[in-house]
Amino acid sequence: MKRMKRAIALLFCCAAACGGISLAACAEKDGAGLGAAEAALLESTSEYVVIEVREGDLTKSLYDALLHFQDRGELTIGGREDAFGFYLTSVNGVEATDKYYWGVYTTLGTLDGTEYSNAEYGTYEYGGQTLASASYGVSGLPLADGELYAVVWTKNPYA
């Protein structure tokens, strides 16, 4: 009888553990999980959002971080998926127009041979640091250790 109780308890623990693993996997799939990354939302206004990555996870993107903070109710984003990834059209209720768009800037330069930003296309100053215009959209920017990412209401120079 004692053996049977132990076996049942062991099966229950295994089932609970498997259920927990299954739930964790679902949380990662919905885009809200940051994996091993740790990010801080430094500011979130109607004109800009600034995120600092404290511990990086190159399998996660700025888009994942934005979704994470949206799920926590700290900001809102809108947009759509296209062939190049997620196209950001609104932040904190402010929609892009012909005259203004949501520009993406970062301190992340070149990583593993890939150039993630270029100051020739614009810069944004924050906290004494210069962030360069991102060469990729929010879903193409990996969360790298110690980097800053800003999504900024930017005037369209061609409008």
Of 44, 80, 47, 79, which is closest to residue 154 (Cα–Cα)? 47
* 125 and 105 in a common domain: yes
The four Cα atoms 84, 106, 48, 156 give a dihedral, to 10 degrees, of -60
pLDDT of residue 10: 34
* 48 and 12 in a common domain: no
| Spatial CB neighbours of 46, under 8 Å, sequence gap ≥ 6 | 91, 92, 93, 94, 153
* 122 and 50 in a common domain: yes
* 48 and 22 in a common domain: no
Query: How many domains does the chain fold into?
Result: 2
pLDDT of residue 17: 35
* Mean pLDDT per 10-residue interval, the chain, length 159 residues: 36 34 27 81 98 97 97 97 94 97 98 97 97 97 97 94
Q: For the segment 122-153, what is each residue's pLDDT rounded down to a tens digit?
A: 999 999 999 999 999 999 999 999 999 999 99
pLDDT of residue 55: 96
* 127 and 111 in a common domain: yes
* The model's pTM: 0.78
How far apart are the C-alpha atoms of 65 and 59, rounded to whole Å?
Answer: 12
pLDDT of residue 43: 97
Residue 38, token pair as written in the block: 């740790």
Q: Give residue 13's domain range.
A: 1-30
Q: Percentage helix, strand, coil, to 5, in the chain?
A: 25, 45, 30
